[in-house]
Amino acid sequence: MNLSPMRRRFLLGFLFLTAPAFADEAGLPFDPERIHRSSLDGVPRSLSIRQGEHSWLGYDLERGTAFTVWTGKPGTTGLIVDGFTTRSQGETRFTDSSDGSWRLSRDGEPVVTSFHYLACSDRAEAVELLWEVRHDEGAVRIRERVPHRLHESERGQVVRVLAVAGLGENGQLHLPEATAGKWTLLDAEGAETKWVDRDGTYRLILP
Amino acid sequence: MTRILTPGCLAIFGLVAFSPKVIPAEEAAASRSLDLPATMIFAEGPNRYDGEVLEIFQGRGSTIGWYVEAKRAEPVDVFVEYTCEAPLNQAYQLSFDGENRFWEVDPTLDESWQRAHLGTFTMRAGLPVLVLLVPPSQTKFSHPVRFRRLVLESETPDNLSLSGLPEPPVSPDGAPGFGEKLADLHPALVARDLRDESLTLRVSGLARRGGNELLLTTWDGDLYALDLEALPEAGTPPFRLLARGLSEPMGLAVSGDRIFVTEKNQVTELIDDDGDGRFETYRCVSQDWPATMDYHEYLFGAVIRDRHLYFCNSVGMARRGQDNYQAPLRGSLIRVDLQSGERKILAGGLRTPDGVGIGNDGRILITDNQGEWLPANKLIVAREGAFHGFRSIPPWHPLDTGKQDPPAVWLPQGEVAASPTQPIVLPESWGPYQGHILFGDVTYGGLQRVVLEEVDSVPQGAVFRFSQGFHHAFHRFALTDDGTLYAGGIARGKDREFIERVSGLTRIAFTGEPVFEPLAARIRSNGLEVEFTEALAQGTGWDPAAWHVTRWGYQPTQTYGGRKVRHRLAAVRAATVSSDRRRVFLEIPDLVEGEVVHVRLSRSLSSASGRPLRSGDLWYTANRIPEDRPGEVRPAPSGALTAAEPWFRFGTGDVGEQVYRNFCSACHSLDGEKRAGPTFRGLAGSIRKVRPDPGADAQEIEATRDYLHESILDPNALLSDGYLPNQMPPLGDLLTPEQIDAVVNFLIEQTSPR
């Protein structure tokens, strides 16, 4: 079979990327090579998700946000495991050392909320994180998908897909401040937006 | 050097109790003041004297305490005379008969002596009261607190006097099961090691799913299933990996088809979203309590009752030497609604509550491990709102009102427990042991047995040794419907060979084989009743001299462990055997509430069927003494008080060996076998690599008598290379100087080149 150099590279890349996901010894979800649920970089409740070959996202489960994104050096896993702790290793592309979380406003006025981590699902195409922003009248649910692999056009980027539900009329969901400063938020039509102002799907992209 | 007060106890076997020698207060103080000089403490630990002044550089391992007596009860003011050139990072504790004050040590401007008022306490009359001045645990100071004396002031002249330290009663010679750990499997048990050589199963959670499936979590974060119907009678068990990626799971519970795991920082439900047998979703049921990066913060156990999950969270250890900070709500019994995740703190003051179970009456049972604020291990019957004593620094736990709920049963360190694990209630198929509680121990090993009762609605009871002789150190248990007990083992430490040997799964079946041993103990207004599994031989049991009874209390402090308080002989005035010869009532005058009563039985006792006694110790915790339950005292039949041989022998056994077996052998072998600590093989005179602290360069030192002494008193001072600090407790507070000398002699003798 003759393959063009580009197609060969694509196939090899695809095989490499999918290998850890589907060729592990038991084929079970939550392979620590791709999702590590131990404390990362000094954040007690955190987990690490690998995207693509070398990209990692570190989530603070109490704040509901990615607090670090890094690229592991080729030839390394990018994650050093030591007992119940892990450390990111490689080039840091984003970091949020604040204590900021999602903020909710209604008609422009801040709403008192509490933030809750509900679940992590390891599915065939993506890792899903489920968050809930609770307030006095109900709750906003954020289902966040971190694709295992990236589309060819997204190489070099880090992509998170958000599905927001329960926002209600006149509600606005604001990204954690550090995230808003570095990530680009796109609505379902691909238009850039500053905040979430209606239920639906959004994409967060770290260039 | 260790300084000890003059022995003052009339330790005359069979006669008495506590009669301490009284040391008169200074004549000048013949009025209202009593000095407690620094030179008369129990043990200075790693600290040193400068003349009559004790310079305290380090808290761990020292015992600064005195016994004081009063003729009448009255308030007493306590003062301390000291100098201290710079502030300390933590407070001293003054423990006065169990009542605590914390002393923030004000620096003194120069070397002039200062006098600080530490508080006013209620002095009771009668029994001696223990006064302890306790430095912060785990802390070394570049500058010492220079301490000269405590001064007690009372209203009534000549009311107070300083007592000598009562010398602990001499124990009868030991043998396995009699003053020593058992050496073998209980005759009524059959155990099978369910080993898969390709797997290292450090079992951290164990539960049944459906009728015939056993689930287990491992310390390494995996979930396995074992189909019990497919379990072959020999060969490798068919363990099946179900899930992975769990974070230090330490508890597992199943409700119908739902699986819940207590991980390091959250309660998790494993969900198979699409029915393909794989758990794609890890639902966070709750993480509603603070967490830090402390290695010792765990969630222990998991039991389900009424749609709620019950578990405990442990306290941190990493900052004990720094500032003793604990994240809020650590050391709690927690209840979480399985559906809503709503969390409630039910009890506080726990330390390392590894074991959580459900008792006969549905109440939650907890075991907790000896250490700071826990002078011994505990079995606790949980009560909502209770506080169990572990304290850190303010802000206190919300349930910490300064008062402590006692454990249902104290589990004395080294004698019957060291790191107790999950308690489990035995079913009807276990015959005479039905309703009894078994628990494991990852240091002491084996299985121990507890029998509870209630007095005035307060739970209490006795603990008995039950069985050794297993491959594994048991951590978690699950029972099948037919009464088969599955026991999961886990190993401490980092030695791979040891981990692989001690971890794993054991199947234990009860055969009903008759055994002669003490079955239960029950408190009476005037003593203790001991029940046996079989009738005593005709005419035996009546002689009070056949029962060696001692008693003591505990006084929790902020330093590791604790000595027995007022450890003394208890007089057995009479022993009365029941008409069926299954029970013996021991008349013991003046039982004291809150104390442990230890009964050593004579090995000469035998059953009517001629079976010898298998084990001969029980420890009863007398939280309450009933007023309306007198035991019956009857005169002994003629000839029943005559023994051809002494019931006990004293002094012919090797005390050092006994101490080694009870306190050292769980972690240190004599023959090179790998255990949690370094082996003692070839120890004496060998060159050891040690470190003053984990970060320091290793240095070589000869294992001399002094080195052994120091390592027993302060194990952190010269850490064996490759071992972490705080893995071994200082034993200076648990053992007498004579016992330490004896075990050092034993080790020198056993490990010298031959």
Any B CB within 8 A of A125 CB = no
Percent of chain B with pLDDT over 90: 69
Cβ–Cβ below 8 Å for B245 and A118: no
Calpha distance A28→B129 (Å, rounded): 61
Which residues of chain A have a CB within 8 Å of the CB of B246? 30, 37
Which residues of chain A have a CB within 8 Å of the CB of B329? none
Do the Cβ atoms of B509 and B606 come closer than 8 Å? Answer: no
Calpha distance A151→B312 (Å, rounded): 45
Do the Cβ atoms of B405 and B557 come closer than 8 Å? Answer: no
Identify any residues that bridge with B598 across adjacent strands, giving them in sequence order. B550, B619
Do the Cβ atoms of A164 and A188 come closer than 8 Å? Answer: no
Cβ–Cβ below 8 Å for A117 and B279: no
Do the Cβ atoms of B319 and B302 come closer than 8 Å? Answer: no
Which of B333, B583, B587, B624 has the alpha carbon at shortest distance from B460? B624
Cβ–Cβ below 8 Å for A30 and B295: no
Which residues of chain A have a CB within 8 Å of the CB of B271? 119
Calpha distance B59→B736 (Å, rounded): 18
Numbers of helices and strands, H then E, in chain B? 4, 50
Question: Residue B113 corresponds to which tokens in the numbers above?
Answer: 């002596």
Rounded to a whole number of angstroms, the distance from the CA of B294 to the nearest CA of chain A is: 9
pLDDT tens, chain A, 207 aa long: 444 444 444 443 333 333 333 334 558 999 999 999 999 999 999 999 999 988 999 999 999 999 999 999 888 889 999 989 999 999 999 999 999 999 999 999 999 999 999 999 999 999 999 999 999 999 999 999 999 988 777 778 999 999 999 999 899 999 999 999 999 999 999 999 999 999 999 999 998
Cβ–Cβ below 8 Å for A32 and B245: yes
Which of A56, A15, A17 has the alpha carbon at shortest distance from A35? A56
Do the Cβ atoms of A118 and B284 come closer than 8 Å? Answer: yes
> Mind spelling out the 3-state secondary structure of B160-225?
EEEECCCCCCCCCCCEECEEECCCCCCCCEEEEEECCCCCCCCEEEEEEECCCEEEEEECCCCEEE
Cα B304 off chain centre by: 26
| Other residues' Cβ atoms within 10 Å of the Cβ of residue B127 | 21
Under DSSP, the state recorded for A177 is H
Question: Residue B243 corresponds to which tokens in the numbers above?
Answer: 């899930």
Rounded to a whole number of angstroms, the distance from the CA of A5 to the nearest CA of chain B is: 37
Calpha distance A97→A114 (Å, rounded): 19
**Matching residue, tokens 């794993």:** B504
| End-to-end CA separation in angstroms for chain A | 36
Question: Residue B270 corresponds to which tokens in the numbers above?
Answer: 């494993």
Tell me which of B218, B273, B284, B299 to substitute to probe the interface with A (most A C-beta atoms closer than 10 Å). B284
Mean pLDDT of chain B: 90
Q: What is the pLDDT of residues B716-741, one digit of tens each?
A: 778 888 777 777 777 776 777 888 88
Calpha distance A36→A81 (Å, rounded): 9
Give Cβ neighbours of residue B589 (< 8 Å, ≥ 6 apart).
B526, B527, B571, B573
Q: Indicate whether B49 pLDDT > 90.
A: yes
How much is the pLDDT for A13? 39
